[in-house]
């Protein structure tokens, strides 16, 4: 019987290996055909190469989807899908909305050739990231070794809900202290280089978004609802007074917090509706920035007039698609020193590695940082080809770890890894390479901490059975230093 089972397992493994080999062969043939097609067609039309890159990216993305499963909990697919969407929409619409006023802090005009090169760069980055991700997935055993667990929703006790309610206002107080109450209420400028304390502000901004998610959890659990409404209103006022686009993130993050507790169909519909509302809210900070006076009081007084007039949808579109132009403009700047690339990718704190000395050079103007992908291309094609697959590999590794944590029931840590990895996308498109890389370093740090605690938990909770001794009693190893005789414990 055991021989039959062993033969069956061996046959199943051979069939699975054969299918994987066939998939890889077909994928290789398809990608090779797309490359040949692009090389031939590019001699007749400049659109041939991006078309070939797009075909390859879609084929690789479909392959990744077969291994990773659902799109919503997959940072690899979200990041690559976002890049592909930017490449297409940026190429189609950037030129038409480049001169719209109020959409961005910078106006960038790209020539037709520069637009095509920017699209090629984004598509190439997507292909390279997918290549690195698929390599890691293959090394880790493919679909058979990657759990496909689904998110079931958090289960907190009353003490945990009370801690969330007590901790939620702390990040908001950090923002008030960091910026200063007076400057939040009214000021004569939109942004100034030395507004508040950068360290306190950065910590408060990041933690406040997490606090909003926690408030969504409380709302879904029907806990402290009056307190939740008060704190959400305070968070909205603070981000409104700053004229920050983070105001638009509040509905999405709050609804995701609700979804973390209640995964019902109704909550999912609320998440979809909040995405539409957030898209609308992007236009408000864009209008506020054009005013002569700034802060909570001036913005609230002008809010009825802003809502009454036509919404600046063209400015919203430009604000979202400006990433395309920023990437292209950054790539075409005078090359940065190669040492800057090392500093941008270094996990060492900026004050120690010299980042704050070179940071002013990595901006297009006072309000617009250089884009991470553009910085890679600015450093040379070789840097792009070497770094992008590594970024894709890191994203794939973090996703595998997140899925394994989810399968083990450690949903909070899994969600933290997924969120930090997904946040890499907007930072990679609109912010410096160093800022984007920090998201991955934070996620890797969380992964290491989770692995250490998981290892210690297994050592503490998993007893090991030793062989039976000469008297017939079994000795149970409860820890690395303590042995207990099970026969003696049972007594006569």
Query: Across-strand partners of 484?
Result: 476
Domain boundary among 96, 122, 145: 145
Q: Which domain holds residue 415?
A: 158-390+409-458
Residue 433 lies in a domain: yes
Q: Which DSSP string corresponds to 114-135?
A: HHHHHHHHHHHHHHHHHHHHHH
Let me know whether 448 and 473 are in one domain. no
**Same domain as 251, residue 168:** yes
Give the pLDDT confidence score for residue 128 in this predicted structure. 92
DSSP-assigned beta bridge partners for residue 363: 369
CB 327 within 8 A of CB 121: yes
Q: Do 177 and 201 have their domain in common? A: yes
pLDDT of residue 374: 93
pLDDT at position 233, please? 92
Among residues 388, 448, 447, 399, the alpha carbon closest in space to that of 421 is found at: 399
The answer to whether residues 130 and 232 belong to one domain is: no
What pLDDT, on a 0 to 100 scale, did the predictor assign at position 195? 47
DSSP 245: G
* Cα–Cα distance, 5 to 18 (Å, whole number): 20
Q: What angle do CA 363, 368, 370 make, to 5 degrees?
A: 45
Domain annotation covers residue 396: no
The C-alpha atoms of residue 458 and residue 483 are separated, in whole angstroms, by 17
Tokens of 58: 């879609």
- Regarding whether 101 and 174 lie in a shared domain, the answer is no
In sign, the C-alpha dihedral spanning 5, 9, 15, 18 is: negative
Q: Look at residue 153 and tell me if it is in a domain.
A: no
Question: Which of 109, 124, 145 lies at the terminal end of a domain, its last residue?
Answer: 145
Same domain (yes/no): 183, 117: no
Q: Counting every residue, how long is the chain? A: 492
Q: Is residue 84 located within the same domain as residue 213?
A: no
pLDDT score for 118: 92
Q: Do 414 and 152 touch, CB atoms closer than 8 A?
A: no
Are 232 and 376 within one domain? yes
Give the residue ranges of DSSP H helices in 151-281: 158-167, 169-179, 181-185, 198-220, 225-242, 249-261, 265-281
Q: Look at the block and give the residue holding tokens 């600046």.
A: 312
Q: Per the domain annotation, does 341 fall within a domain?
A: yes
Q: Indicate if 166 and 60 belong to the same structural domain.
A: no
**Count: domains in the chain:** 3
Instruction: Tell whether 138 and 24 lie within a shared domain.
Output: yes
pLDDT of res. 227: 92
55 in a structural domain: yes
- Asked if 354 contacts 343 with a C-beta cutoff of 8 angstroms, the reply is yes
pLDDT at 166: 92
Q: Is the pTM of this model over 0.85?
A: no
In this prediction, residue 194 carries a pLDDT of 42
Q: Are 379 and 336 in contact (CB under 8 A)?
A: yes
- Whether residue 150 is contained in a domain is answered as no
* CA gap 3, 10 in Å, rounded: 10
Q: Per the domain annotation, does 368 fall within a domain?
A: yes
| Short-list 49, 83, 3, CA closest to 424 | 83
**346 and 215: one domain?**
yes
How many angstroms separate the Cα of 110 from the Cα of each of 69, 90, 114, 177, 335? 38, 11, 6, 41, 18
Q: What pLDDT, on the 0 to 100 scale, is given for residue 313?
A: 75
pLDDT value, residue 40: 44
The dihedral built from the CA positions of residue 198, 202, 208 and 209, taken in this order, carries a sign that is: positive
Please report whether residue 1 resides in a domain: no
The pLDDT tens digits along the chain (492 residues) read 444 444 444 455 544 544 554 454 445 444 544 444 444 444 444 566 778 788 888 888 888 888 877 777 789 999 999 999 999 998 888 877 777 766 666 788 888 888 989 999 999 999 999 999 988 888 887 766 777 777 777 778 888 889 989 988 888 888 888 788 888 888 877 764 444 456 677 777 778 888 898 899 999 988 989 999 999 999 999 888 888 888 888 898 899 888 888 888 888 899 889 988 888 888 888 778 777 788 888 888 888 887 777 667 777 777 788 889 899 999 998 889 889 999 999 888 888 888 888 888 998 887 788 999 999 999 998 999 999 999 999 999 999 988 888 888 777 788 888 888 988 998 999 889 998 999 999 999 988 988 888 777 767 665 544 444 444 444 444 444 444 444 444 444
Whether residue 192 is found in the same domain as residue 336:
yes
Q: Which of 112, 145, 178 is the last residue of a domain?
A: 145
Q: By CB neighbour count within 10 A (0-12 exposed, 13-18 middle, 19+ buried), where does 88 fall?
A: middle
Please tell me the distance from the alpha carbon of residue 161 to that of residue 414, in angstroms, as a whole number.
20
């Amino acid at each position: 019987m055991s021989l039959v089972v062993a033969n069956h397992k061996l046959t199943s493994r051979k069939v699975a290996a054969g299918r994987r080999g066939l998939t890889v062969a077909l994928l290789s043939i398809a990608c090779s055909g797309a490359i040949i097609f692009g090389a031939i067609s590019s001699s007749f039309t400049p659109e041939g190469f991006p078309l070939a890159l797009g075909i390859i990216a879609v084929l690789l993305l479909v392959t990744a989807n077969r291994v990773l499963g659902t799109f919503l909990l997959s940072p690899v697919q979200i990041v690559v899908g976002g890049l592909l969407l930017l490449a297409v929409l940026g190429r189609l619409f950037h030129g038409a909305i480049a001169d719209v006023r109020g959409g961005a802090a910078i106006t960038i005009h790209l020539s037709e050739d520069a637009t095509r090169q920017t699209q090629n760069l984004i598509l190439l980055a997507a292909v390279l990231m997918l290549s690195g991700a698929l390599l890691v997935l293959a090394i880790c055993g493919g679909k058979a070794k990657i759990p496909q667990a689904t998110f079931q929703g958090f289960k907190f006790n009353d003490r945990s809900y009370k801690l969330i309610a007590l901790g939620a206002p702390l990040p908001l107080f950090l923002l008030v202290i960091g910026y200063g109450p007076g400057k939040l209420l009214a000021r004569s400028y939109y942004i100034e280089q030395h507004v508040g304390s950068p360290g306190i502000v950065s910590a408060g901004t990041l933690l406040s978004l997490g606090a909003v998610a926690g408030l969504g959890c409380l709302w879904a659990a029907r806990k402290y609802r009056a307190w939740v409404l008060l704190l959400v209103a305070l968070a909205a006022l603070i981000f409104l007074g700053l004229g920050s686009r983070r105001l638009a993130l509040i509905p999405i993050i709050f609804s995701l917090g609700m979804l973390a507790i209640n995964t019902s169909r109704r909550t999912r519909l609320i998440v979809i509706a909040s995405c539409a509302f957030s898209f609308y809210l992007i236009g408000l900070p864009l209008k506020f920035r054009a005013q002569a006076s700034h802060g909570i009081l001036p913005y609230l007084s002008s809010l009825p007039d802003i809502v009454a007039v036509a919404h600046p949808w063209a400015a919203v579109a430009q604000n979202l698609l400006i990433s395309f132009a920023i990437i292209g403009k950054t790539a075409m700047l005078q090359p940065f020193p190669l040492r800057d690339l090392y500093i941008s990718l270094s996990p060492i704190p900026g004050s120690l590695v010299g980042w704050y000395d070179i940071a002013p050079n990595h901006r297009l103007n006072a309000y617009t940082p250089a884009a991470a992908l553009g910085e890679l291309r600015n450093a040379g094609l070789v840097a792009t080809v070497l770094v992008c697959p590594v970024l894709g590999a890191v994203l794939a590794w973090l996703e595998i770890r997140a899925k394994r944590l989810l399968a083990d029931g450690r949903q909070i840590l899994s969600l933290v890894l997924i969120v930090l990895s997904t946040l890499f996308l907007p930072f990679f498109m609109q912010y410096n390479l160093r800022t984007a890389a920090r998201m991955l370093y934070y996620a890797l740090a969380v992964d290491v901490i989770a692995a250490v605690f998981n290892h210690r938990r297994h050592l503490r909770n998993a007893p090991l059975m030793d062989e039976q001794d000469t008297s017939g009693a079994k000795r149970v190893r409860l820890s690395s230093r303590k042995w207990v005789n099970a026969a003696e414990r049972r007594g006569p």
